[in-house]
Amino acid sequence: MDKKKVNVADILINNGIIILIFLMVIFVGVTKENFFSGSNFSNVSINVACRFIIAVGVSGCLITKGTDLSAGRVVGLAACLAGTLLQKADYSGRFELTKNFPQLNVWVILLICIAICCIFGLINGIVISYLSVPAFIGTLGMQMIVYGINLVYTKSIPIGGYRTDYTAIANGKLFGVFPYLFIIAIVIGLIMWFVYNYTRHGKYMYAIGGNEAAAEVAGVNVKKTKIIIYVTATALYAIAGFLLGAKSGGAGVNTGNGYELEAIAACTIGGVSVNGGIGRISGVIIGVLVFEFLKTCLQFLGIDPNYQYIAQGIVIVVAIALDIRKYIAKK
C-alpha cells in the first residue's frame, strides 16, 4: 500500500510540469475567448514546428550524455544564409555579398544551408569524440565561433525582402487546413523516430548513453556514432533555421538565440534524460508542446513579456532538477 502511494507521489512529482501546464491550459481555455480556436491551435502548431526540429537534434546529443549549446546559433546562421540567398532580385536592400548570386531553387538553397551547417556539427563531433573535450565546453566554444562567423558574414545587418516561393513554405497550408511547417515537422519526427527505434545507429546511440565503455567493448564504434549524431543535429538545426526565416520573413544575428536551452528543457520535460540512455521522439513532442503552451497561456493571461522569460527560466531549472532527481533515485 505504501509502495503504491510512493509511486503515485513520484509520478506526480516527475510529471509535475506537464500536469501544471495542462491545468493552466484548461483554466485559460475556459476563462479566455479564442484560446481553443482553430486559429490559435494553427499558430501553436506553426510555432512548435521549428522548435520541435531543433529539440529532436538536441535529443540525440542528450541521449549519449552530451549536449549541444551551439544549436541556437547554428539555427541563426542557417536563417541568415537562407535569407541572403533568397532575397528578391529587385529588392533595394539586397545583401551585398550575394546580390549577384543566381536565383536558385528554394530547396537547393536548403541543401546549401545544411551542407555548411554540417561542417560545424562535424567539428563538434570530432572535438568531443577524438579530443575528449566535454560536450558542454566544446559546443559552448562552437556557439561563440558560429555567432562570430554570422556577425562577420552579415555585418549585423538585418535581412529581409524574401522571395514569395520561400515565405510560402511557412505561410501555406495543405488543403487550407494543415500548415506546411507542421507537416514538415511531422515528417522529420517520423523519420527520426524510425532512426531511433529501428536502425543500428539508434541502437548504438542508446547503448553509448547507457554505458559507453560497455558499448565499446560490444563492438560499437563510439567515435563514429557520436560524430554522426552531432552532424545529424546540425542538419536539423539548418532545416529549422531555414524554416524559421521563412516564417519570420526576416533574419538577423540574434535569430535562434537561446533556442538551445529551450530545446534542452523541452527534451527533459518529455523524458529525455541529461544523464543519457533514455529518450523518445514522442516525449520530445510533449516537451515542446508543454513549453509552447506555457508561453501561449501567459500571453493570453496578459503577463508582461519580461515576466514570461522568468517563468520559462524557472521551467528550465525545474525540468533539469527533476531529471537529475530521477537519476539519483535509480542509483
Is-contact 121 239, C-beta < 8 A? no
| Burial class (CB within 10 angstroms; exposed 0-12, middle 13-18, buried 19+) of 304 | exposed
Give yes or no for a contact between 252 and 78, defined as CB atoms under 8 angstroms apart: no
Query: How many whole angstroms separate alpha carbon 224 and alpha carbon 233?
Result: 14
Q: Give pLDDT, residue 6.
A: 52
Closest CA to 220 of 235, 198, 202: 202
Domain ranges of the chain: 43-330
Q: Please choose, from the candidates 199, 191, 243, the residue with its C-alpha nearest in 3D space to the C-alpha of residue 225.
A: 199
Phi and psi at 250, nearest 5°, equal -175, 170
Q: Looking at residue 268, what is its pLDDT?
A: 87
20: how many CB neighbours lie within 10 A of its CB? 14
Chunked into runs of 10 residues, the chain (331 residues) has average pLDDT values of: 54 73 87 83 88 96 95 96 91 80 91 97 96 95 96 92 90 81 94 96 95 93 96 97 93 92 89 86 92 88 84 80 68 57
User: How much is the pTM?
Assistant: 0.91
43-330 adopts what CATH topology?
ABC transporter involved in vitamin B12 uptake, BtuC (1.10.3470)
Task: Return the pLDDT at 63.
Answer: 96
Q: What pLDDT score was predicted for residue 306?
A: 83
Cα torsion 210, 187, 54, 117 to 10°: value is 100
Separation of alpha carbons 236 and 119, rounded Å = 13
